[in-house]
Amino acid sequence: MFKRLLVESVAAGPHCRAVCTNAGRAWSEGFAIPSRHQLRRWLDHDRRQFSCAHSSRQHIAPTARDGSILEVPASYALHSADRAKRLPTVCPGCGAHSQTVDEASPGYYNVRRGRNPVKKQKPASEDEIYQRALVSNSALGGIEGINDPSVPPSPPPRAVSICDRCHELMYHSKGNSVVHPSMQSIQAIIEESPHKHNHIYHVLDAADFPMSLIPNLQHALDLPRLRTQNRRSKSIRYLHDRVAEVSFIITRSDLLAPNKEQVDSLMPYLQEVLRDALGRSGRRIRLGNVRCVSAKRGWWTRNVKDDIWAKGGAGWMVGKTNVGKSALFEAVFPKGRNQNQDLNPDRLSLDEEDADEEVLIDAGDFSLLPPMQPETAYPVMPVVSALPGTTASPIRVPFGNGKGELIDLPGVYRSSLEDHIQDKHRKEIIMQSRVVPEQFTIRPGQSLLLGGLIRITPKLSEGLVMLAYPFVPAAFEPHVTATHKAVAIQTGVYSADSIDKEGETYTGTVTNIAKDDAKNQIANAGNFALEWNITKRRAGPLTDRAAGKQKADNLPFIVYGADILIESVGWVELVCQVRRRSESLLSADALGALELEAGGGSTIPEVEVFSPEGKYIGVRRPMSAWLLGGKRKVAVHKRKVRPRMSIGMLKRRQGGKGAVLAE
């Protein structure tokens, strides 16, 4: 019985082992051994009882035969300060430094509450635990057979635990966002890199691409300029005796198209959009370093993983909040590759001389970088959460026996509509999977509402019709209605355009996900022109080589399009077909006298967008994502009714031929 209790005490921890140690000493001195129930009461009580570092604890001590109380060793009263020493230096989930003071701050560990990080650890044999307990305990050194040198006294390995904030985010979706760092802070952190070779992965979100682009990233981080299209342009540039390369990674590419091949066909389009977003200097830049990946479906993640492993050194994940950096980190980290590999970090370099001189740079004791995690084949990955600002501090995870490390940085501030949306709808504002929208027709005098929060009002002349395809999550439910009613739904009050209802409160059934104070902050976000000609893509068989064989310039109409972007939410594809005006036979002076415009062409349609504070809206050239396919919803007027029941089925339901003849 005593052997079995000692085995249980070792599995419970050193504080419980002290009880059985004291009992063993009492046994050797001739005192009465505590009963089985009394020992179990001590062990269970100590497993549950935790105290702070300065509080005193009282326990039931074992008694001798004469009723005297035996002395309890000091190791039995293990305080919270001793438990705090076992905590990791930084939380592997969010990167915050471990602390036991402020519950509201990241990195907090509640040492009063026990949470076993190893739930499915392989149990050791009973004899092995018993022998280890006897060897590691000096109090029982006189008993024969306990000092066996063949038994190692090392305790079993413990898994690294995450802080309470990460635990709440993972299992309860609760937590507070951290203060977002500035670009100056990110620059200071990257400058503390101990590696000579550094690679910055600029992570972008496909949902609102390219609104998640950090403008002037090279200038903000003091990085070398991107490689231009000049054939003499250098592929590698040194700055401050270090190499810093930049690559663009577009995450969540599964939101763009149903399959991988269609996403690959969009790469020229994505590069052109990125050139437009980079500004005037972007027209001369090579964009061969753009990757479009999907961590959810595993598209091109293997290529990025091999690239990280081949380059070694330091890989930095830089981007705005909620663009998918932590999810990408877990998908591209080279796990299980640290056996029998090159031990010299940053071995890959430009020439052999640099490879021989490659050393890690000592940043000193006052580095802004936290210590890296202990290297394992399968380390603990950063916590993935929909909360903006989940990562509180840089998370350094090494790989390849010192070959390099991958670092997940906190996200830079990204404006979002979340602050203007009701709490019950916040979980539905992130697009988790690709949306196949329904086609909406907007006529003159009508507007498109998205969740009652965003209003798109086309400026159309009589006879024109605009088509809208909203690629937005479920919370932004599309609704087309008259413009005066759309204003009432969005602001909550009828405007002067509403007849006999001006100033009245809207009491309809259309849902508005905005907060009450956000309804008073609705402002004009700008006028956006559908300036891109997409006639060839939208003409269908008219321009097909096997059908009409017509040129898009010879058609009597022009199809214009544009994508209206909603930051961190999605986009709305707008299409409008207008009549092509023919060249006039009159001179410019004659047309001026008649107050007519000279030349041909057509009028470019525009839309006016209203949003909270007039923000969170952008525009890009159209992707034509509606043409990429997917399982679409059938319109109500095209849904087929259930077919008429056959005569044979009718007879079987009525009980067969006999039942029919009986009638």
Nearest CA to 505 among 494, 516, 521, 515? 494
pLDDT in tens, 323-334: 999 999 999 999
Q: Which two tokens stand for residue 186?
A: 């990110």
Amino acid 606: pLDDT: 94
Q: Cβ distance 166 to 98 under 8 Å?
A: no
Question: Has residue 524 been placed in a domain?
Answer: yes
Q: Which amino acid is at 70?
A: L
Q: In which band, very low, low, confident or very high, does the pLDDT at 574 lie, cut at 50, 70 and 90?
A: very high
Count of Cβ atoms closer than 10 Å to residue 348 Cβ: 18
Q: Which residue has the higher pLDDT, 38 or 518?
A: 518
Amino acid 104: pLDDT: 87
What is the SS3 assignment for 573-630? EEEEEEECECCCCCCHHHHHHCCCCCCCECCCCEEEEEEECCCCEEEECCCCHHHHCC
Amino acid 62: pLDDT: 47
Decide which of 380, 414, 448 is a domain's last residue: 414
**Lowest-confidence pick of 139-148, 189-198, 259-268, 510-519:** 139-148
> Taking 70 as the threshold, does the pLDDT of residue 475 lie above it?
yes
Listed in order, strand segments (DSSP E) in 159-285 are 197-205, 238-239, 242-251
Collect all residues with Cβ–Cβ distance below 8 Å to 90 and sequence separation of at least 6. Answer: 96, 97, 98, 107, 370, 371, 373, 393, 395
Q: Which residue has the higher pLDDT, 160 or 539?
A: 539
Domain count, the chain: 2
Question: Has residue 457 been placed in a domain?
Answer: yes
Nearest CA to 57 among 32, 30, 77? 77
User: Are 410 and 436 contained in the same domain?
Assistant: no
User: Are 470 and 399 contained in the same domain?
Assistant: no
Amino acid 501: pLDDT: 85
Q: What's the whole-number average pLDDT of the chain?
A: 77
Collect all residues with Cβ–Cβ distance below 8 Å to 433 and sequence separation of at least 6. Answer: 254, 255
In percent, the amount of the chain with pLDDT more than 90 equals 38
User: Are 327 and 240 contained in the same domain?
Assistant: yes
Count of Cβ atoms closer than 10 Å to residue 227 Cβ: 19
Q: Cβ distance 20 to 5 under 8 Å?
A: yes
pTM, to two decimals? 0.73
User: Are 331 and 280 contained in the same domain?
Assistant: yes
User: Are 318 and 332 contained in the same domain?
Assistant: yes
Range(s) of the domain holding residue 508: 419-582+602-638
Residues counted in the chain: 663
Question: Has residue 215 been placed in a domain?
Answer: yes
> Taking 70 as the threshold, does the pLDDT of residue 147 lie above it?
no
User: CA-to-CA distance for 219 and 242, rounded, in angstroms?
Assistant: 16
Cα–Cα–Cα angle for 263, 265, 267, rounded to 5 degrees? 80
Q: Which amino acid is at 614?
A: G
pLDDT in tens, 425-473: 888 888 989 998 899 999 999 999 999 999 999 999 888 999 999 999 9
Q: In which band, very low, low, confident or very high, does the pLDDT at 547 lie, cut at 50, 70 and 90?
A: confident
Cα–Cα–Cα angle for 636, 639, 642, rounded to 5 degrees? 135
Nearest CA to 93 among 26, 164, 152, 25? 164
Question: Has residue 171 been placed in a domain?
Answer: yes
- Residue 282 vs residues 123, 199, 269, 279, 475: alpha-carbon distances, Å: 59, 20, 14, 5, 35
User: Are 461 and 575 contained in the same domain?
Assistant: yes
Collect all residues with Cβ–Cβ distance below 8 Å to 457 and sequence separation of at least 6. Answer: 447, 448, 483, 486, 607, 608, 609, 610
Question: Has residue 597 been placed in a domain?
Answer: no
DSSP characters over 489-544: HHHSB--TTSTT-TTPBP--SS---B-HHHHTTEEEEEEEE--EE-HHHHSGGGG-
Amino acid 340: pLDDT: 47
Decide which of 392, 414, 436 is a domain's last residue: 414
> Taking 60 as the threshold, does the pLDDT of residue 29 lie above it?
no
At residue 372, the 3 state secondary structure works out as coil
User: Are 382 and 498 contained in the same domain?
Assistant: no
* 22: DSSP letter: H
Q: Cβ distance 140 to 26 under 8 Å?
A: no
> Taking 60 as the threshold, does the pLDDT of residue 133 lie above it?
yes
User: Are 409 and 423 contained in the same domain?
Assistant: no
**Stretch 401-421: mean pLDDT:** 90
Q: Cβ distance 161 to 117 under 8 Å?
A: yes
> Taking 80 as the threshold, does the pLDDT of residue 292 lie above it?
yes
In percent, the amount of the chain with pLDDT more than 70 equals 68
Q: In CATH, what number is assigned to the domain containing residue 291? A: 3.40.50.300
User: Are 617 and 555 contained in the same domain?
Assistant: yes
Q: In which band, very low, low, confident or very high, does the pLDDT at 85 lie, cut at 50, 70 and 90?
A: confident
Q: In which band, very low, low, confident or very high, does the pLDDT at 60 lie, cut at 50, 70 and 90?
A: very low
User: Are 375 and 482 contained in the same domain?
Assistant: no
**CA 170 distance to own-chain centroid:** 13
Cα–Cα–Cα angle for 583, 586, 592, rounded to 5 degrees? 105
Amino acid 611: pLDDT: 95
> Taking 60 as the threshold, does the pLDDT of residue 360 lie above it?
no
Q: Which two tokens stand for residue 329?
A: 């980190």
Q: Cβ distance 146 to 135 under 8 Å?
A: yes
Decide which of 382, 414, 446 is a domain's last residue: 414
At residue 364, the 3 state secondary structure works out as coil
Q: Which amino acid is at 656?
A: G
Q: Which amino acid is at 176?
A: N
609: β partners: 456, 526
* Helix or strand (DSSP H, E) at 218: helix 217-220
> Taking 60 as the threshold, does the pLDDT of residue 345 lie above it?
no
Question: Has residue 539 been placed in a domain?
Answer: yes
Does a cis peptide bond (omega within 30 degrees of 0) precede residue 210? yes
Collect all residues with Cβ–Cβ distance below 8 Å to 70 and sequence separation of at least 6. Answer: 22, 25, 26, 31, 61, 62, 63, 64
Question: Has residue 155 been placed in a domain?
Answer: no
- Residue 64 vs residues 1, 9, 44, 76, 562: alpha-carbon distances, Å: 19, 21, 22, 18, 88
pLDDT in tens, 494-528: 988 887 888 889 988 999 999 999 999 999 999 99
Question: Has residue 97 been placed in a domain?
Answer: no
Nearest CA to 530 among 574, 492, 495? 574
- Residue 293 vs residues 266, 302, 327: alpha-carbon distances, Å: 12, 10, 11
User: CA-to-CA distance for 76 and 13, rounded, in angstroms?
Assistant: 10
User: Are 394 and 446 contained in the same domain?
Assistant: no
Amino acid 19: pLDDT: 43
User: Are 405 and 476 contained in the same domain?
Assistant: no
